[in-house]
Amino acid sequence: MTGAIRPLVAGNWKMNGLTAQLAEAQSVRNGLGAPPPVDVMICPPATLITPLMLTLKGSGVLVGGQDCHSEPCGAFTGDVSAEMLADAGATTVIVGHSERRAMHGELDRIVRAKAEAAHRAGLIAIVCVGETAGERAAGLTEEVVHRQLAHSLPDAATAANTVIAYEPVWAIGTGLTPTAADVARVHASIRERLQARFPGEGARMRILYGGSVKPSNAAELLAIDHVNGALVGGASLKASDFLGIVAAYKA
């Protein structure tokens, strides 16, 4: 963990969660007890942002969106703008998740426009980067991640408005994780790039690790240098698992 950086543990519910799922969020709220030494966030489907915000009100647990359009409003059927997420109670939005990149053809320039939209709306952007299994096998991990960082991050990114999530695509939802040494190497290289491009800010930007984080591996992953928290998919759907990950910071 990097000394002065306050970690963030963010749960991405993806396209999971009807109203009944709010009970899990209530259990997260109840189970946290004393305020944890980290920021805790849940990113539900857009339909649950407002009810989740009401469920968590006063708890300190933050609410985020999973994606946004780059425009504030207009003829974009089915899309949700950053302003709408903010209006609904979100403080943050994930952009460039690998599922969006792969299934919706989101290129780096689109991710960048979405991050800029998040900033315009006063939201923190969690910008996701990460290599595929094929890219990893070809020894291209750093090259891919550096390219995504270069083209997906707005020039106006600061430690306050931007979080990076390093998520190896092959580790998402598979139960596989990189070795601690691999995570350390990639996170250190991300830190170097951030410091070079954003003097004064890059040293303080949070870099989350994401990909099959669960209670049993959280302590090891979250203790790695330049790992400033986690982006959690599957394990965020069950309060006990999510709390088990947050608890890695109390250990």
Give the interface segment with ligand PEP, choosing from 27-35, 134-142, 187-195, 229-237 (CB under 6 A): 229-237
Nearest distance, CB of residue 94 and ligand PEP, angstroms? 8
- Residue closest to 82 by CA, chosen among 123, 50, 110: 123
Would you count residue 173 as binding ligand PEP (CB under 6 A)?
yes
For strands 229-232 and 124-129, give the pairing: unpaired
Among the listed residues 207, 210, 229, 242, the single contact to ligand PEP using CB under 6 A: 210
Asked if 67 touches ligand PEP (CB under 6 A), the answer is no
User: Which listed range, 39-47, 137-145, 166-174, 187-195, lies at the site for ligand PEP (CB under 6 A)?
Assistant: 166-174
Residue 130, CB-side half-sphere exposure with 13 Å CA sphere = 31
Q: Is 232 in the site for ligand PEP (CB under 6 A)?
A: yes
* Catalytic residue list contains 119: no
To ligand PEP, the closest distance from the beta carbon of 203 in angstroms equals: 25
* CB-count burial class (<10 Å; 0-12, 13-18, 19+) for 230: buried
The H-or-E segment that residue 164 falls in is strand 162-166
Return the number of the residue (83 or 115) whose C-beta is nearest ligand PEP.
115
- Mark the segment that binds ligand PEP (CB under 6 A) among 54-62, 73-81, 141-149, 204-212: 204-212
Catalytic residue among 24, 69, 83, 97: 97
- Does 226 participate in catalysis according to the annotation? no
Q: Running DSSP on this structure, what letter comes out for residue 15?
A: S
Among candidate residues 206, 161, 235, the one with its CA nearest the CA of residue 248:
235
Contact between 51 and 38 under an 8 Å Cβ cutoff? The reply is no
Distance CA 142, CA 189 (A): 7
- Return the residue of 172, 239, 245, 248 that touches ligand PEP, per CB under 6 A: 172
**Closest residue to ligand PEP, based on beta-carbon distance:** 233
- Is 92 a binding residue for ligand PEP by CB under 6 A? The answer is no
- Tell me if 12 contacts ligand PEP by CB under 6 A: yes
Cα 123 from Cα 82, distance rounded (Å): 7
Is 229 a binder of ligand PEP (CB under 6 A)? no
Nearer CB in complex with ligand PEP: 25/83 = 25
Q: Give yes or no for a contact between 165 and 12, defined as CB atoms under 8 angstroms apart.
A: no
145 φ/ψ sector (left φ>0, alpha ψ -120 to 50, else beta): alpha
Under the criterion CB under 6 A, does residue 167 sit at the interface with ligand PEP?
A: yes
- List, by residue number, the catalytic residues: 97, 167
Applying CB under 6 A, which residues contact ligand PEP?
A: 12, 167, 172-173, 210-213, 231-235
